[in-house]
A and B are shown apart, each in its own frame.
Chain A
């Protein structure tokens, strides 16, 4: 068993675009759930909009990549408005039901043949990153040292992703530590109390829904920059993986989502390589290596349950600030 090789590949995920994408989406969920108490179960939908908006903007409308990126984020704003206007006046659980269904509807719209010209239906979209890579100031070649060795193109995605993540994290940190954030946390605790103090609860919830949604779309954008776009990536289980990353780090924290995503991906990668390797050695009760690769998902599920039960505030959270049992 090539244990060193496994560790090596695992470490590569520390800076992977997918980790950055998860961190952005988890940060969005932190705004939704951790600070505003909004149960968004459709983060995958927001991410899909970021990715598809970007790719369609370039391929179908010939926009420069940065404008196409804005199309994706704008689509997330509109999606948040459509979801929020009917549901934010209702009790919290309704938003969860509506978001989970809407994200699936969106995905099926991307899948259907009807819009094939724009969405590529089942094939998805690819080769739209040319212009983005032309803006890459790094000369072609491979850079870095193992395990962080990669092409100039991938480094450019990482750099752009990390800049987006850094700016987003700073902005969220500022927001939640301001009087605006105080109102948001108040709404999480008791909407009526906040109303009785003269604050327009609906507006605050809508702002939070939009901000978190745009962060999710940024995650989708980074994913789209690093590979192709396919509706199969934006399934409901993606939403639950983001939730796992969020709860791992701490829902009512700013840096928790970042660390949570990192741990999530490193663990995923490590277990995804370790179990098949063990199976090949015949150490997993005769499971084939393909079967063994699925064990990691079981572990993710068990981990999620354990976190929620034993450390609901996450790694970074304050035990008193976010617990599921009141």
Chain B
């Protein structure tokens, strides 16, 4: 992770990602992830039923949809943490069907979890170091000989410290992860995912519980990932964040992709407003509930 994130209040949006009209399942010019006919049932409930979806390369795609729409389940399916009843999906042209989760991760597709998985009884620094791939010292026999891995470990530590500083966790690097607050754990998990140098990061509600000021700087960091050539797919309920950084938005409801498109277009889509956003998205909540009266609503 290098370079300084230039705080960009008006991020450069990638456009022209798709071919033809923006409709659910529209083809992308350069898709990095393609999923087709993915179905996952839990008993009688069909949690995911995605006919076709493509994630554009080197862009930031938001996956939105109401609670229980199947976003997290879809993440699990794509990353090998769950197996679909049917369907094919591929990453970078390589089929991921039946590939175990750790191999998916090794291919460069890294995900974070909605319910954070900070490794509580390891220090923050150890959490970070675990993210680094290709460590010599992680092999059983070479781990016995520190001379083989000490230098690499020191380099990893520098890299980890750099990321921790960005995520405002540097002061905590010696503490056990269990002692972090909820929001800090989210941050740690995201930073740890970035330690792997992924090609595609899938973040499940990365900003839930993160304070506004830090959200701002992290948004810049995510935008920075794009300039470094990474692809980001994230689930988020905060529409400001989605509007601000997403180049493309995919809307799921009841397991299906119901709309796709550039953020501004999608949010005007009546189906999306009905299923997810609600008709008062731009109005103060107080006005919706009638507790405050606005002088004038446009």
B140 → chain A closest CB, angstroms? 5
Interface residues of B in 184-221 (CB under 8 A from A): 189, 192-193, 195-196
Q: Which residues of A contact B106 (CB under 8 A)?
A: 198
| A200 in contact with B144 (CB, 8 Å) | no
Q: Mark A225-264, 1 if CB is under 8 A from B, else 0.
A: 0000000000000000000000000000000000000000
In whole angstroms, what is the CA distance A270 to B62 when docked? 68
| A199 in contact with B143 (CB, 8 Å) | no
| A326 in contact with B120 (CB, 8 Å) | yes
| B121 in contact with A185 (CB, 8 Å) | yes
Query: Number of A interface residues, CB 8 Å?
Result: 29
B195 → chain A closest CB, angstroms? 8
- Beyond A190-B117, A196-B111, A197-B192, is A185–B139 a contact (Cβ under 8 Å)? no
Interface residues of B in 33-61 (CB under 8 A from A): none
| B143 in contact with A180 (CB, 8 Å) | yes
In whole angstroms, what is the CA distance A50 to B284 when docked? 73
| A201 in contact with B102 (CB, 8 Å) | yes
B119 proximal to A (CB < 8 A)? yes
B180 proximal to A (CB < 8 A)? no
In whole angstroms, what is the CA distance A175 to B133 when docked? 19
| B102 in contact with A321 (CB, 8 Å) | no
Q: Which residues of A contact B254 (CB under 8 A)?
A: none
B72 → chain A closest CB, angstroms? 13
A81 → chain B closest CB, angstroms? 15
Q: Which residues of A contact B189 (CB under 8 A)?
A: 193
B241 proximal to A (CB < 8 A)? no
| A179 in contact with B144 (CB, 8 Å) | no
- Interface centre among B118, B133, B135, B189, by most chain A C-beta atoms within 10 angstroms, is B135
Interface residues of B in 118-159 (CB under 8 A from A): 118-122, 126-127, 129-131, 133, 135-140, 143-144, 146, 149, 153
B81 proximal to A (CB < 8 A)? yes
Contact of A180 among B129, B133, B137 (CB under 8 A): B137
A150 proximal to B (CB < 8 A)? no
Bin chain B's interface residue count.
35 or more
Q: Which residues of A contact B127 (CB under 8 A)?
A: 186
In whole angstroms, what is the CA distance A247 to B130 when docked? 27
Q: Which residues of A contact B112 (CB under 8 A)?
A: 196
Contact of A197 among B100, B105, B140 (CB under 8 A): B105
- Interface centre among A180, A183, A192, by most chain B C-beta atoms within 10 angstroms, is A180
Q: Mark A171-210, 1 if CB is under 8 A from B, else 0.
A: 1001100111111011011101111111111000001000
B residues in contact (CB < 8 Å) with A = 79, 81, 100-103, 105-106, 110-113, 117-122, 126-127, 129-131, 133, 135-140, 143-144, 146, 149, 153, 176, 178-179, 189, 192-193, 195-196
Name the 4 nearest CB pairs between A and B, nearest first.
A179-B137, A180-B143, A198-B105, A178-B143
* Extra contacts besides A175-B140, A194-B119 (16): CB < 8 Å: A180-B139, A180-B140, A182-B122, A182-B129, A182-B130, A186-B122, A190-B119, A193-B119, A195-B100, A196-B101, A196-B112, A198-B110, A198-B196, A199-B102, A320-B179, A326-B120
A–B pairs, 14, beta carbons within 8 Å: A174-B144, A178-B137, A179-B135, A179-B138, A180-B143, A183-B130, A189-B119, A194-B119, A195-B100, A196-B81, A197-B133, A198-B106, A199-B130, A199-B138
